[in-house]
Amino acid sequence: DTAVSQTPKYLVTQMGNDKSIKCEQNLGHDTMYWYKQDSKKFLKIMFSYNNKELIINETVPNRFSPKSPDKAHLNLHINSLELGDSAVYFCASSQVTDTQYFGPGTRLTVL
Amino acid sequence: AQSVTQPDIHITVSEGASLELRCNYSYGATPYLFWYVQSPGQGLQLLLKYFSGDTLVQGIKGFEAEFKRSQSSFNLRKPSVHWSDAAEYFCAVGDRAGTASKLTFGTGTRLQVTL
């Protein structure tokens, strides 16, 4: 009964490819997030959705496009992958502005 | 804009010794403060949080933190460290943006525990 799950856990791909990471939460929360953790472990917010509506959109290349089919799912699609996109991507969810609960992360490696 | 500083990149303590991890924040209003822990290859687990009220908050695994507004600090403490506490610790401040909250993290403190 995983609270916030992400697939895949590992993703290895070539430069220029397009890939997606999926996130699902079963906590009944209505707000979901994507964070990026770089090689130095620094965490930075990318996006946030509330009930399928985009709330937070940080300075992220437009090659990154979040999609929320319903309030329990928030997927991240990345076009034309670059070496600098290699990182660990974390999904999180919260009940509005309350505590955020994180998924296990997806380690993306771009070769 | 809010910011979080964790001055200690790496700390080593002996098992059974006490621990204090420092966190200083910059935020214009009353902050929402968090400590998360990340074990190798794992996600982030919430240790404790401060929203309002009692400035000494208790968390899981025997951790506590004290909010000091005058010092803009939210230091994490544990009286006796266990080897399983070895991990990366992140302090964060939350900024409410409508129906979401933007967390700004510090750079983390890596805790090593010697036996």
The tens digit of pLDDT for each residue in B67-85 reads: 999 999 999 999 999 999 9
- Mean of the pLDDT values across residues B87-91? 98
Distance of alpha carbon A20 from alpha carbon B26, whole angstroms: 35
Average pLDDT over residues A80-89: 96
Phi-psi region of B83 (alpha: psi -120 to 50; beta: other; left: phi over 0): alpha
**Residue of chain A whose Cα is closest to the Cα of B102:** A45
Task: Say whether A97 and B100 touch across the interface (CB within 8 A).
Answer: yes
**pLDDT tier at A82 (50, 70, 90 boundaries)?**
very high
Q: What is the pLDDT of residues A56-72, one digit of tens each?
A: 888 889 999 999 999 99
pLDDT at B101: 87
Q: What is the torsion angle, in degrees rounded to the nearest 10, for the CA atoms of residue A87, residue A77, residue A2 and residue B62?
A: 40
SS3 B6: coil
CA distance B115 to B110: 16
Q: What is the 3-state secondary structure (H, E, C) of B44-75?
A: EEEEEEECCCCCEEECHHHCEEEEEHHHCEEE
Has residue A98 got a pLDDT over 90?
no
Helix/strand/coil for A51? coil
B-interface mutation test, from A42, A97, A101, most B Cβ less than 10 A away: A97
Query: Does residue B6 carry a pLDDT above 90?
Result: yes
User: Do A5 and A103 contact (CB within 8 A), yes or no?
Assistant: yes
Radius of gyration of chain A (CA): 13
Rounded alpha-carbon distances, angstroms, from residue A82 to A3, A5, A18, A19: 31, 25, 10, 11
Residues of A whose CB is below 8 A from B96: 97
b/e map A87-104, b = 16+ CB within 10 Å:
bbbbbbbbeebebbbbbb
- For position A1, what pLDDT does the model report? 61
Please tell me the distance from the alpha carbon of residue A95 to that of residue A23, in angstroms, as a whole number: 16
Say yes or no to pLDDT of A4 above 80. Answer: yes
Residue of B nearest to A46 (CA): B102
A93, containing H or E segment: strand A87-94
Chain B residues near residue A50 by CB distance under 8 angstroms? 98-100
Average pLDDT over residues B58-70: 96
pLDDT tens track for B18-49? 999 999 999 888 889 999 999 988 889 999 99
Tell me how far apart the alpha carbons of residues A14 and B19 are, in angstroms, rounded to a whole number. 43
Whole-angstrom Cα Rg for chain B: 14
Which stretches of chain B sit within 8 Å of chain A by CB? 32, 34, 36, 38, 42-46, 49, 88, 90, 94, 96-105, 107-108
How many angstroms separate the first and last alpha carbons of chain B?
Answer: 41
Q: Smallest Cβ distance to A97: which of B88, B99, B105?
A: B99
